[in-house]
Structure 1
Amino acid sequence: MSHKDALRTDDAPQPAGPYSQAIVTGDLLFTAGFGPQHPVTGEVAATVGEQTRQVLRNLEAVLAESGATLDDALKATVHLADLADAPEFNEAYREFFTEPYPVRTTVGSQLANILVEIDLVARIPS
C-alpha cells in the first residue's frame, strides 16, 4: 500500500463530490461522512432511527472492503439535524456497537434533507 489508499464499494452510496468513501493509511481507516441513502435505490427513510440504521449499514459496507467491522471503530463523529433526536438515534446506534463503544462526538448540524450523518475512524485488524 502507498502512503494512503482509497477504498471504494458499490455497497455504499457513491461520493457526491471530489472525495473518497474511505482512505486507509497504515492500519487506520478514515471514512467520509455517510448519510442515510440506500446505495441502490437512493431512498431515504423518514425517521432518525431508520436513517441511523441505514447510515451504519453503509459504513459497515465500507469497513468490510478492508476486512474491518464496526467492532474495529475507534471514533465516530455524528451530525444530527436536531439534537432532540438523540434518544432515538442512540437506540438505533446501540444495535450496531458493543462495549467498549467507540469514542464519539455528536453535534447539531444543518443537513441537506437528511437527519443524520456519521463518519468513522477504525483500526484495520491484522
Structure 2
Amino acid sequence: MKKLSTIITLATLLFTSHLYAGSSAKVEYLDTGSVFPKSANMPFSEAVRVDNTLYISGQLAVTPGTLKLVEGGIDAETTQTMNNIKTILAAHDLTMKNVVKCTVMLADMKDWPRFNEIYTSFFSKPYPARSAFGANGLGLGAKVEVECIAVFS
C-alpha cells in the first residue's frame, strides 16, 4: 500500500508539473512550521502554492510543534488531523470552505464510519471532492492521514 500511495503522489505531481511546464505559473514552497516543527527537517514542504491553488501535504494527528501523535484512537486522530489542516489553511488566510479536494488514507477501513462522521463535521455542503483508501502503514504509526487541495478565491 505504501507503494500505491507513493505512485499516486508521484503521478499527481508529474501531472501537475506537466500542466504548468512551459507556463509562467508562480510556484511557492511553503513551510510555516505551524504543524510539523521546522527543526524536524522533514523531506517535504508543508504546502505548495501554484498560482491560486494550495496543495497541502498529508497531515497526521500530531500535536502541533511535535512529532507525537495524539492519544485516543481514530476519533482523536481524525479531529487532530483535521485541526492541523485548518491550522495550515489559516496560516495562508484560507478556511475549510476553500478546500476543493481531499485524499484520505486509513490504516484500517473498519474506522471509516467514525472517521467519516468526524470529517464531515469540519465541512458544510457542498463537500469537497474526496478519495479514500486503506493503507498498510502510515507515518508515525498513525491511523489516519489526510491531504487536501484548496483554492484561493
Tell me if TM exceeds 0.5: yes
Query: Mind listing any 5+ residue stretches in structure 1 that lack a counterpart?
Result: none
> What's 1:124 paired with?
152
> What's 1:11 paired with?
34
Q: Work out the number of aligned pairs and report it.
A: 124
Instruction: Tell me the TM-score normalized by structure 1.
Output: 0.90
Query: Mind listing any 5+ residue stretches in structure 2 that lack a counterpart?
Result: 1-24
Letter in 1 for 2:55: F
Q: Is the 8 A contact 2:46 2:57 kept in 1?
A: yes
Q: Is the 8 A contact 1:79 1:107 kept in 2?
A: yes
> What's 1:39 paired with?
64
Q: Which residue of 66, 70, 77 corresponds with 2:92?
A: 66
Letter in 1 for 2:58: G
Q: After the TM superposition, which segments of 4 or more aligned residues of structure 1 sit over 6 Å from their partners?
A: none
> What's 1:86 paired with?
112
In structure 2, distance between residues paired with 1:33 and 1:108: 14
SS in 1 for 2:43: coil
Larger relative contact order (CA 8 Å, sep ≥ 6) = 1
In structure 1, distance between residues paired with 2:151 and 2:69: 30
RMSD value over aligned CA atoms?
Answer: 1.6
State the identity as a percent: 31
In structure 1, distance between residues paired with 2:51 and 2:143: 33
Instruction: Tell me the TM-score normalized by structure 2.
Output: 0.75
Letter in 2 for 1:121: I
In structure 1, distance between residues paired with 2:147 and 2:88: 11
In structure 1, distance between residues paired with 2:118 and 2:151: 23
SS in 2 for 1:37: coil
In structure 2, distance between residues paired with 1:107 and 1:58: 20
